[in-house]
Amino acid sequence: MSDLARTLRARLAGGTVQFTFNKIGGEVRPASGTTCFDLIPEAFRPKTDGRRTPENLVVYFDLDRMAWRSLRSDNLVSIDD
C-alpha cells in the first residue's frame, strides 16, 4: 500500500476527507468520505466489526452517496484537503 493510501485511511478514521481516485473504467472521481462512526448515520454503521480489509483496498463511507464504497489503493490520485 502506498504512503498516500495509508494517510487516507488514517485521515478517514479521524473525520471527513475530500479525495480523488481513478475508477476502474478510467473516470476520475472526487469523493467525500469517512470511517469515523460518529459521522456515519446509525442505520449505515456496521453491525459487527473485526472484518479484515485487504491491504490493497481503502474502504470508506461516501457522504455524498450515503453508502459504503471502496477503491484500490493504487487508484488513489490525491487527498484534496
pLDDT per residue as tens digits for the range 23-62? 999 999 999 999 999 999 999 998 876 678 888 999 999 9
Q: How many domains does the chain have?
A: 1
pTM above 0.85, yes or no: yes
Residue 73 belongs to what domain range? Answer: 3-79
Measure Cα distances from 39 to 3, 4, 25, 29, 52 in Å. 25, 22, 30, 22, 21
CATH of the domain at 42: 2.30.30
Please say whether the dihedral angle defined by the alpha carbons of residues 78, 21, 12 and 5, taken in this order, is positive or negative: negative
Confidence of residue 21 (pLDDT cuts 50, 70, 90): very high
> What is residue 38's predicted lDDT score, i.e. its pLDDT?
95
Tell me the average pLDDT across 56-72. Answer: 96
Pairwise pLDDT comparison (81 vs 2), residue with the higher score: 2
CA distance 23 to 4: 17
